[in-house]
Structure 1
Amino acid sequence: MNTSCVHSGDVYVAVAGARAGADVVHAMYGRRLARIDKGDGDFATAADVAAEKAILAVIRTARPDDAVLGEEGGHQGGADATRQWLVDPLCGTLNYATGTMTVAVNVALRDGAAAVADPFSGEVFFTDGESSWIRDAGADTRLTPTSATRLVDVNLDPPFPSAPGFRAVDLLAHPGFTARFRPRVLSTSLPLTWVATGRRAAYVTDGGDLSESVHFAAGIALCRAAGCVLTDVTGAPLGPTARGLVAAADAETHALLMGAIREGGGGGAGG
């Protein structure tokens, strides 16, 4: 790719921000961290807060006039700002707090560049909105989705807003699903990067409109620019009325998943 676009502009800010957050998450791993209760069983740790501060420092230095919506700090910046960054400093907090390294750091400019960093592999996945890339050991490689692995990650983490119409757990036992795919269960948005890279055939999760979520915006941007097929769990386009997310490496995989969901593997969503 033209490496100049990675070393300047919004792509640089997204990558630098994600890496700054990932460095903090990696450095604080394994410590006994204070928990900040958010209610309903949700919480943040001191690592979430510190990582978000590191990301904000990068954005504030490079783009002082932009607004930011952070998972921990909420909205910051002028209400009249025309550009907004969506920041999730540690997606998979419960995993992290219990010593599991399956987490992601997400930074996305709304309708623009985005980056997802894996703090423990050292990989950074990024997009300029037109193509998607992985940076590993200083080398950039374009992402090429493929369903060859037949592995599908399904998020079973509550809440379940689409139940009883859609229940992700039902998909795991559907004959049409298990005949074609090998399910995996994971509660973090990191699998979206794996769909974009070809490590996973698809990812399925419940929820509302996830395209504007700090947890999912960066991963969705990566998948979209890589050429993946993305809809909600009913097959409808992502948007304000969407219900969750189905991200598939290709159209055939997406069609097979939607068939399983509509036949009852997800409780009959969209039927």
Structure 2
Amino acid sequence: MTDPDASAHPYADLDDLGVATAAVRAGADVVRGLYGQRLSRIEKGGGDFATAADVEAERAILGVLRAARPEDAVLGEEGGRQGVVDAQRQWLVDPLCGTLNYAVGSMLVAVNVALRDGAAAVADPFGGEVFRTDGESAWVRYDGADTRLAPSSGSRLVDVNLDPPFPGAPGFRAVDLLAHPGFAGQFRPRVVSTTLALAWVAAGRRAAYVTDGGDLSGSVHFAAGIALCRAAGCVVTGIDGGPIGPTGRGLVAAADAGTHALLMSMIRGR
């Protein structure tokens, strides 16, 4: 049922891009506000955990989404599936990507919100930037102004996710890519441990991003970054070179076809 007072909500008149932007900003405000405080941890097992900042940021994001799109469903990293069971539309929420970084005082974190197959936004809470896409074009908003994202391989910097688990092993291990004889001759590795790096690929600050995994198309961690890279014109595939989806494996997001081909030759060469 549609909320009869929807017109009174501050986000009611926003389009999907505006909703995604408002949502990540709400989450980013929480992440920034709680930074440096002693926060309780929620253990998830296998060395993974959330903090009170993850939970509170997701709550703030959900507040925006519920006010703006009460008939949509939400999949949140901390709260799981919520909202209308048979909803046609679903928002994917990662309220604090880079929790371990955050917990030890590093500002390399991101807030990710994506409408499945639609608009998406990634906020850098400490840099003040919001990377955003309507599903067709992509921009970065800073200090109220939007700049079109322009991928570039000029930096030669490649972010590689080394966090376990490693579902592709022994066929693919990210550490093996770094040890490939040709890698050092073409690229320089970086490991920031947050999907903010995907936004940087779209913005031309990284040449590529590589991670292991299964189907990442519906992942709360990766959906927003993948949407940004695609809209910006990057080459986005699985680590097997195939499309991302139910049969896909991992992710290679490259600024251009040449960079993608180089990385794929190294991955296949292992």
Same fold (TM over 0.5): yes
Q: 1:130 aligns with which of 129, 133, 136?
A: 136
Q: Does residue 214 in structure 1 map to residue 220 in structure 2?
A: yes
- Out of 226, 230, 236, which is 2:236 matched to? 230
The aligned runs of 1:54-203 (5 Å cut-off) are: 54-203=60-209
In structure 2, how many angstroms separate the alpha carbons of the residues matched to 1:185 and 1:66?
Answer: 35
**Counterpart code for 1:145:** P
8 Å contact kept, 1:156–1:186: no
**What percent of counterpart residues are identical?**
77
Aligned residue pairs: how many?
258
1:8 Cα offset (Å): 2.9
User: What is the TM-score with the length of structure 1 in the denominator?
Assistant: 0.94
User: Could you say what secondary structure the match of 2:200 adopts?
Assistant: helix
The TM-score with structure 2 as length reference comes to 0.94
Q: Which amino acid aligns with 2:215?
A: D
Q: Deviations over 1:15-38 (max 9, x none)?
A: 000000001000000000000111
The SS at the match of 1:130 is coil
Deviation at 1:242, TM superposition (A): 1.1
Please give the secondary structure, in 1, of the residue aligned with 2:54.
helix
What SS is found at the alignment partner of 1:211? Answer: coil
The one-letter amino acid of 2:208's match is: A
CA contact (8 A) 2:199 2:229 kept: yes
Q: How far did residue 263 of structure 1 move?
A: 1.2
Q: Conserved in 1, the CA contact under 8 Å of 2:14 and 2:68?
A: no
Gaps of 5+ in 1: 1-6, 265-271
Instruction: Please give the secondary structure, in 1, of the residue aligned with 2:189.
Output: strand
Name the residue aligned to 1:4: none
Post-superposition CA distance 1:194-242 (Å, at most 9, x none): 0000000000001111111000000000000000001111111111111
Partner of 2:260: 254
Question: Gapped runs of 5+ residues in structure 2?
Answer: 1-12
The answer for the alignment partner of 2:269 in structure 1 is: 263
Partner of 1:42: 48
Alpha-carbon RMSD across the aligned residues, in angstroms, is: 0.8
Dislocated runs of 4+, deviation >2 Å? none
